[in-house]
Structure 1
């Protein structure tokens, strides 16, 4: 019996080996390998259509320098969707409920966009720290505020993804616990809570896909500012 609701978010360890690494690598085995043939199966066709639509929507408003990131951001989207969705299966673990994992994805990519902007267009990148037309007395204060807002971006990315997934998992677990408790006492109430649990599961599936898309979309916006 679990001593706390948050025990489900602890990184599992088997014989001293952290299983979070396995949980992170396994989703890549589930995606079908692209084929060079013109005629493929329906799954490969759907996957290719989804990737084409995503890259077109994400990189059309961006300069050509940012198109080099298409493979990185598309792979990141597929990885996040896989991790978030597989975490809804019973007896599995969701690595993206760990803030350290999300920050490990957000910080290097955010830092790469900032460094690329400083290398290619340092004047424009540094100009984002001070809005145009700012009064002279407010210049130091605004520079500090904009610098803090710039540095907090990867933390906001990681916390947003962690908080949304954690809240959804907790709601599902609380509803499932209530269903089991009411099953022998009030079967009608247990049926209602079971329906609520199914609805929450469907909502969590949508949240898992949307949060992965939001994570990559915000990263593309940061990239767009620096290319």
Structure 2
């Protein structure tokens, strides 16, 4: 029986219980809990510094009304990074390779930014649908195009995250399979594929962190347009 390469992205279950719930809950166990120590350790200090730098970079160009989203978007980025990185461990499952899961992250946040824009500055938000100086015959067409581009934003967020992680996992699986097969047949070539596998693993670690950052960065840009 031939096993499809995409079987690794199926949601696993044990005794009828979907293990995706365990994958989603695991990152919360890794986060530091409150401590009675006066001074933080090196790891916690580094984490706080990274969170502060991220919040400063994301929210510095944004209006003051959008700064209340700082904790929510920072927590979302840490959560996505944790899910992406834990999915690189052997015998684990990556929930962010599921398009439905990524859309569950993207749609509510995107819809919240749109609703905030409609409540606070409806005229300015609707003005995005029609660029200034548009010729009169092109007005209906441009309104339709801008409306489609507005509603396609959450799909772009979800598909981007899904496609990048899925492609990386497939490359790692294909390279590891080639290394396993070539070990007994062509050891010199197998050494080359193992080196390539190591480099792909480093690249996938970078992709896991960058894609989480890009996901939250685009959400912050959508929020910046509506506050």
Written as runs of structure 1 = structure 2, the 5 A alignment for 1:11-160 is 11-33=11-33, 35=35, 38-160=38-160
| Structure 2 unpaired stretches of 5+ | none
Deviation of the 1:35 alpha carbon: 4.8
Alpha-carbon separation, structure 2, partners of 1:36 and 1:214: 35
TM-score by length of 1: 0.98
Extract structure 1 runs of 4+ deviating beyond 3 A.
34-38
Deviation of the 1:36 alpha carbon: 7.3
Alpha-carbon separation, structure 2, partners of 1:37 and 1:7: 46
Deviations 1:93-149 (A, max 9, x none): 000000000000000000000001000100000000000111111000000000000
- Residue 206 of structure 1 corresponds to 206
Deviations 1:173-207 (A, max 9, x none): 00000000000011111111000000000000000
User: Helix, strand or coil: the match of 1:3?
Assistant: coil
User: Helix, strand or coil: the match of 1:26?
Assistant: helix
CA RMSD of aligned residues (A): 1.2
Contact 1:34 1:44 in 2 (8 A): no
Alpha-carbon separation, structure 1, partners of 2:70 and 2:178: 45
